[in-house]
Amino acid sequence: MAIDLQQIGKRFRFYTNLRELEMEDLTSITGSDAETLNNIIHGRNIVLDELVSIVKHFDDLNPQWLIYGEGSMFKPMDADGQCHEPNKKDCLKKDKAAYLQQMKNMLIELDAAEVAKGHKPDIDALMAKLDQLRAAQQ
């Protein structure tokens, strides 16, 4: 299976936006420089070793999804039923309506890229969840 660098960048950008991580947060979490992280986010000049060393800093991110677009974005729950990421829906740093619209736009972009590749993993479920959250906001 071929690795699509631009797809990896789009998925990583989607994940970091969902987690509300800015470049400063990413450099702090990963210890990588902004240029390397920008290259990953924009799908250019990605060295697999650098990508692996960065991804290991995100316990909840499923590397199979990031690299191949397969499976769920997040790793499954632990054996004891604990999620890797606590529920943050009530503590968004951004305006919720604008944030939900931004995420929906990114999902549409990811969906178009996945359709072009020939498969649609969890995009429909994520879009439905965003619609649900938006309806609850109104």
Going from the C-alpha of 103 to that of each of 16, 45, 61, 123, 130, the distances in angstroms are 11, 26, 17, 11, 8
In angstroms, rounded to a whole number, what is the distance separating the alpha carbons of residues 27 and 128? 32
pLDDT, average across residues 18-30? 93
pLDDT reading at 12 higher than 90: yes
3-state secondary structure of 74: strand
Sign of the torsion angle spanned by Cα atoms 31, 92, 124, 22: negative
Amino acid at 81: G
What is the structure's pLDDT at 129? Answer: 77
Q: Given a cut of 80, is residue 27 above it in pLDDT?
A: yes
What are the pLDDT digits (tens) for 87-123? 444 344 556 677 677 777 777 777 777 766 665 556 6
**By 3-state DSSP, what share of the chain in percent is helix, strand and coil, each rounded to 5?**
60, 0, 40
Q: Dump pLDDT digits (tens) for 31-87.
A: 999 999 999 999 888 888 888 899 999 988 989 889 888 888 888 755 554 444 444
For 61, the 3-state DSSP assignment is: strand
Q: Which of 95, 73, 92, 76 is nearest to 84 (CA)?
A: 76
pLDDT at 1: 53
